[in-house]
Amino acid sequence: MTVTRVQLSRRHLLHSSLGGLALAGAVGLPRLVFGQGAPAVMISERQRIRAPFGVQSGDVGDGRAIVWSKADRPARMLVRWSTREDLADARAVRPLHVLEDTDFTGKVELTGLPDGERIFYEVRFLDLGDLQGLSEPVRGSFLTPPASRRRIRFLWSGDLAGQGYGINPDFGGFRIFRAMKALEPDFFVFSGDAIYADGPIPAEIRAADGSIWRNLVVPAKEQVAETLADFRGNYAYNLMDENFRLFLAEVPVYAQWDDHEVTNNWYWELRKDSDQRYKDGAVARLAARAMRAFHEYMPTRLHPLERDRIFESLRYGPSLELFRIDLRSYRGPNTAGLETALAPETRILGERQVQWLKAALKASRATWKVICCDMPLGLIVWDNAKERRGSEAVAQGDPGAPRGRELEIADLLRYIRDEDIRNIVWITADVHYTAAHYYDPSKAVFKDFRPFWEFVSGPLNAGTFGPNELDPTFGPQVVFQKAPPPGQANLPPSAGMQFFGEIEIAPDSETMTVRLRDLEGGILFSQELLPEV
């Protein structure tokens, strides 16, 4: 179901014990808004409280889901939901005040949701200025995980509005979300780089082929993000795109983050003193602000003790469990990676997250275990690409035994083998092209692991690069890849090389089919995987 703005007639007055009644007339005409026992107040369309960026849902599972929206002023967020599209028997959720401290964004948790049902929900905002004005209702829907086997289809990708390629109305905006929405997926894994806080959006970009890319521009995207308001403005900019909003209203999100939510290749100790674009060189301060904005604008469930924690396992019926991990928040510096022993500076997941992931994988009873990883394992991503030094991802760029960050991944892969944990698939984005990699211990330097697949897809709306070199330590083999021709890089979205991935699990055989798709949804590659019992 798409976002719907409902016009109410005199015969369909909505009564609210928290605010009163809204009587809707024709667009552009004044509206009479009544409070309980209060005189009528004239409110024009210009004055009316609004929800300018629609609704989102996320982190759906275990009978719960997060619903998100944003008002344009201090308000009371009113949410109701039902298994009926007409919301005739809707249940109201405890109201939430959205104020300046969250940029008027709000997230409420729906609980007690039935398994395997489509949930329809509605969000309205009550103006705290008079406790009478109500926003138009905005509606969305999502599907809950099944209790028994059924077909599951989900998508993943990353990298939105990067390299200065923002919302181009002439191109149709973030067009890829039309193709993604048409597949009617159960959910979407947003694999990181949900914004480009370090990438301003100019009015025009001249591409290498001579074409002109024209952007919708706003003040928040005129410079790199440093203040909390700047980071918030990056998320708000992306939500200006109608394709994106319509997609989010129908498809729940499992959101990750990577580097561009803060700044390129960031880690806590990094400083930007030599970058003239930044007034504040302390990346740790930028990251703290970025984390807050991420959770304010993404439909994530906040951990009760660790507000900024992202890693989590999410069960989706008996056939699937997702393991959302975070390769950014717990890493050591992007050094040369010469270390041959595990230490805090060599980690990329961090000891506590590794222990959690091992335990969660071992405890899982799902047939398929999909690790949602914000960076690929075997592709070399240099911290300094020009000088080919420093590791930004896992691979260290040498053909020998594990060292640096590879040590932590080697330990995890060995544990998976030793505990006989089967049917693990890795999905990722980050490198701005699409590929299928098969990790084969018989062709690896480090051999103590079960073979597995890694699928890469992206960008959603950003420059296209690649392909990257493979590090042979874990034996990755390129089965498929689609990237720019040699000598070409940073191709605009209009070149058509924007990508997303799709995974479908059959209800009877539980066969997993992975498809890599292009901007228009065309299938570039398909791989069937049979579950190992």
Q: What is the pLDDT along the chain (533 residues), one digit of tens a residue?
A: 333 333 333 222 223 322 332 223 222 323 333 233 333 455 667 789 999 999 999 999 999 999 999 999 999 999 999 999 999 999 999 999 999 999 999 999 999 999 999 999 999 999 999 999 999 999 999 999 999 999 999 999 999 999 999 999 999 999 999 999 999 999 999 999 999 999 999 999 998 778 899 999 999 999 999 999 999 999 999 999 999 999 999 999 999 999 999 999 999 999 999 999 999 999 999 999 999 999 999 999 998 878 889 999 999 999 999 999 999 999 999 987 778 899 888 999 999 999 999 999 999 999 999 999 999 999 999 998 888 888 999 999 988 999 999 999 999 999 999 999 999 999 999 999 999 999 999 999 999 999 999 999 999 999 999 899 999 999 999 999 999 998 899 999 999 999 999 999 999 999 999 999 999 999 999 999 999 98
Q: What is the pLDDT of residue 389?
A: 87
Question: Measured between alpha carbons, how far is 201 from 238 in angstroms, rounded to an integer?
Answer: 11
Cβ proximity of 164 and 200 under 8 Å: yes
Task: Indicate the CATH number for domain 152-529.
Answer: 3.60.21.70
What's residue 44's pLDDT?
A: 66
* Element spanning 526, H or E: strand 523-529
> Within 13 Å and on the Cβ side, how many CA atoms surround 256?
32
Separation in Å, CA 97 to CA 51, 79, 127, 138, 297 = 14, 12, 10, 17, 16
Contact status, residue 475 vs residue 468, Cβ threshold 8 Å = no
pLDDT for res 7: 33
**Positive/negative CA dihedral, 286, 292, 296, 299:** positive
Residue 344, preceding bond cis, omega within 30 degrees?
no
What span, in angstroms and rounded, lies between the C-alpha atoms of 468 and 484? 11
464 DSSP 8-state letter: B
Architecture of domain 14-143: Sandwich (2.60)
Q: How far apart are CA 298 and CA 332, in angstroms?
A: 26
Over the range 479-495, which residues count as b (16 or more CB within 10 Å of their CB) and which as e?
ebbbbbeeeeebbbbbb
SS3 label, residue 37? coil
HSE-up (13 A, CA, CB side) for residue 482: 23
Q: How far is CA 367 from the centre of its chain?
A: 24
Assign residue 481 a region (left: φ > 0; alpha: ψ between -120 and 50; beta: otherwise).
Answer: beta
| Per-domain boundaries in the chain | 14-143, 152-529
Tokens of 442: 């018989």
pLDDT at 43: 62
| Residue type for position 234 | N
Residue 14's pLDDT is 28
**CB proximity list for 216: less than 8 A, separation 6 or greater:** 166, 167, 168, 169, 201, 240
Give the separation between CA 283 and CA 494, rounded to whole angstroms: 33
Say what angle helices 228-238 and 283-297 make with each other, to 10 degrees. Answer: 40
pTM over 0.75? The answer is yes
Burial class of residue 188 in the structure, from the number of CB atoms within 10 Å of its CB (0-12 exposed, 13-18 middle, 19+ buried): buried
Q: 3-class SS at 229?
A: helix
Predicted local confidence at residue 386, as pLDDT: 86
Omega of the bond prior to 467 within 30 degrees of 0, cis? yes
CA separation for the pair 412, 84 (Å, rounded): 45
